[in-house]
Amino acid sequence: MLLLLANLIAVLLFLLCPWWVLKREFGGAGVLAGTFGLLDPQNLGIPDTLAVGWIPGFSWAWVLLALGSSLALLIRERQLRARWLYSLGIAGLLLFGLGLLRFYGAIGAVNGVALAEGILPARLPLRRFSPSLASYASLAYALLLLLLGRLQLPGGKAFLVRRRQIVVPLSALGLAVAVGALVVWMLRPGLGASPDLTPFLNLTTKLDLITYTFQLLFSPLTHWSGLFQSLLLATPLIFTGLAVAFGFQAGLFNIGAPGQLTMGAIATMLVGVYVPGPGWLTLPLSILAAAAGGAFWGGIPGWLKARFGTHEVINTIMMNYIAASIFLFLISANQYRFFGYPVTLPFKAPGPEARSYEIRPESRIPTLLELLGLQGSGAGELSWAWPLALVAGVGVYLLWKGVSIQKRLIASLGAGVLGYLLGGILPGWPVEVPAGLAAIRLNGAFLIALLAVAVVNVYLWRTIEGYELRAMGLSPKAAEYAGVNLGQKRILAMAVSGALAGLAATHYVLGAGIEEYRLKQSLPANVGFDGIAVALMGQNSPLGITLTALLFGVLLTGGLQLNLELGISRELVTTLQALIVLFIAAGGLLPTYFTDPLQAAQVEMDAQRAMTSPVEKEGIPESNPPSAPQPQS
């Protein structure tokens, strides 16, 4: 029943939604091509030579496909049904590819003629065009058919359950996008829709608006400068995501990342501005200060939990507010009165804006381009020092197995230094830097983030201390019985978690993540909260966190574009992140055997039993497995 309903929805989407947008203006207005002809509510007009007469026939082909799959679902024999669904899915993929080719071919033909007439590339008649909702729906539908086919075969459910670490976040992401679409639907009129539009036109333009919104959100994935900008925005998220995940692994929920980030920023500013000392020492010292500031702020709730048993959730929240007050106290003014006595502070830089003095040049983290020896756009020489150091260090670590972790780390460090020295001697590689890439301010804090990912990974899964920490997270009582000092471990876990959050400040203050090399009021401490979403979606694993942070970086970059073009607030991205947290907490609204390891194991066992048993279950409707013994809470 559910599947037939899905098919009905698919047919409606294929018929009603625009398939392609032939011409798109900057504000989002466009000429839409759908099943029932061209829709041009804003009278933008397209060249007559554009061949789009094939679109109605094309969409009817899709409707036929959907009808075919509805019939296929009625086939009683499972093997045959699976084979039909597979064939239809592959046919769908081919049809999708064909449509894509024809569409780009038609656009290319018109533009090619214009180019031949000598029109500049920037003034082509059809510059901005894209697939639209029905196209995306058709691709998703074809993939769904393939997945359904797999599910019909024995062990299909187990196949899906085994991949639950991917399935649950993806489902949550999909649901968040759906709710986000609903929000956009309610808050915004359709693109170029005026009150006197027919209901059909109104609906179509609205659907187009929603499609375009998400197209913009994910658009950074399609070009290099967008990807680098996404990495830039992902850097602090990697830190805060790791911080939250580290706490989760120890069974502690650290909501204090905003405060820890703020304290890290204050500490690193103090060292970066006021500690003189030799140039080579100040940068490491500033980075350490960021970690120490965060560790201090995270350690306090850890200590309170260990000593008094107060819940870390409430304490970390309170400390966020306290950190915000201290932050403002330091940089918003220099003159204060305590009980009538004037007190003068030296931290605020002169001027109307609340900000600190600039970080001294030695303490600044260079941008990645500078690390590669390049200066801005144009011709330059690529230095091999840092790339070689990185390759040598990581290579030695990965290749030299079978020795203790300490020896491996020392060896890879040595190899890194050797690589750096060797790379410094080698002659540079002449390269041309395009202006788009030179504008990206991705800085060395990104490398520190990757290093932190590696260190956390090794610590949690390759050391005894990390094992104890995870044991405490799974069952504090069992860990205590096995000899883990819970109090000490909790303080340590919260301090390390805080240090990771504090390191995010290196990106903002030392790496000019907030446009200037100083502490400013615009320090986005809320990024600490986003870390919760990153950790949850990344399933608390370092690799997952890195990927999720990148995804969120893409969304944030796309959010800027969204604000610029459609005037939709960037808060939409924050809303999506919060929804992802909510849906992941609810297991992606999937059945419980996706979230409960015991029930997942049961599904696996049932599948194996079905595979080995000689009785072929033909014609029997899919039956529920005998319910697993439910764990009593």
Partner 1 sequence: MSIPFLALIPATLRSTTPLLLTALGGMYSERSGVVNIALEGIMLFGALAAAVTTQQLEAPILAQTPAAQVAWIPWVGLLAGALGGVAIAFVHALVCIHYKADQIVSGTAINLLALSVPSLVLQSFYGNTTNSQEVVNRLPLWNGFSPLVYLAFALVPVSWWLLFKTPWGLRLRAVGEHPQAADTVGVDILRMRYGAVMLSGLLGGLAGAYLSIGFLNQFVRNMSAGKGFISLAAMIFGKWHPLGILGSTLLFGATDALAIQLQGGDVMPPVLIQALPFVLTMLVLSGMLSRIRQARPPAALGKAYSK
> Nearer Cβ to partner 1, position 328 or 435?
328
Beta carbons of 485 and 282 less than 8 angstroms apart: no
Residues that bind partner 1 (CB under 8 A): 183, 187-188, 253, 255, 304, 307-310, 313-315, 317-319, 321-322, 324-326, 328-329, 332-333, 336-340, 526, 529, 532-533, 536, 568-569, 571-572, 574-575, 577-579, 581-582, 584-587, 589, 592, 630, 632-633
Question: Which parts of 426-475 fold into alpha helices (H)?
Answer: 435-438, 445-462, 464-474
Beta carbons of 296 and 237 less than 8 angstroms apart: no
> Nearer Cβ to partner 1, position 290 or 536?
536
Q: For the CB of residue 130, give the shortest distance to partner 1 in the complex, in Å.
A: 25
What does the alpha-carbon distance between residue 502 and residue 450 come to, in Å, rounded to a whole number? 15
> Nearer Cβ to partner 1, position 162 or 188?
188
Q: Is 378 helix (H, G, I), strand (E, B) or coil?
A: strand
Q: For the CB of residue 330, give the shortest distance to partner 1 in the complex, in Å.
A: 9
Q: For the CB of residue 223, give the shortest distance to partner 1 in the complex, in Å.
A: 27
Q: For the CB of residue 405, give the shortest distance to partner 1 in the complex, in Å.
A: 32
> Nearer Cβ to partner 1, position 206 or 408?
206
Q: For the CB of residue 320, give the shortest distance to partner 1 in the complex, in Å.
A: 8
> Nearer Cβ to partner 1, position 319 or 392?
319
Q: For the CB of residue 532, give the shortest distance to partner 1 in the complex, in Å.
A: 6
Q: For the CB of residue 52, give the shortest distance to partner 1 in the complex, in Å.
A: 34
Q: For the CB of residue 591, give the shortest distance to partner 1 in the complex, in Å.
A: 10
Nearest-5° Cα angle at 240, 235 to 242: 95
What does the alpha-carbon distance between residue 257 and residue 293 come to, in Å, rounded to a whole number? 12
Q: For the CB of residue 269, give the shortest distance to partner 1 in the complex, in Å.
A: 17
Nearest-5° Cα angle at 200, 197 to 206: 80
> Nearer Cβ to partner 1, position 50 or 257?
257
DSSP string, 307-364: HH---HHHHHHHHHHHHHHHHHHHHH-SEEEETTEEEE-S-BPSSSS-BBPPPPGGGP
- The per-residue b/e assignment along 273-292, b for 16 or more CB within 10 angstroms, e otherwise, is beeeeeeeebbebbbbbbbb
> Nearer Cβ to partner 1, position 3 or 314?
314
> Nearer Cβ to partner 1, position 101 or 589?
589
* 222: DSSP letter: G
Residues 6 or more apart whose CB falls under 8 angstroms from that of 549 comprise 234, 235, 237, 238, 241, 534, 538
Which residue type, as a one-letter code, is found at position 206? Answer: K
The interaxial angle of helices 405-425 and 385-399, nearest 10 deg, is 150
Closest CA to 421 of 374, 387, 389: 389
What does the alpha-carbon distance between residue 522 and residue 268 come to, in Å, rounded to a whole number? 16
> Nearer Cβ to partner 1, position 222 or 632?
632
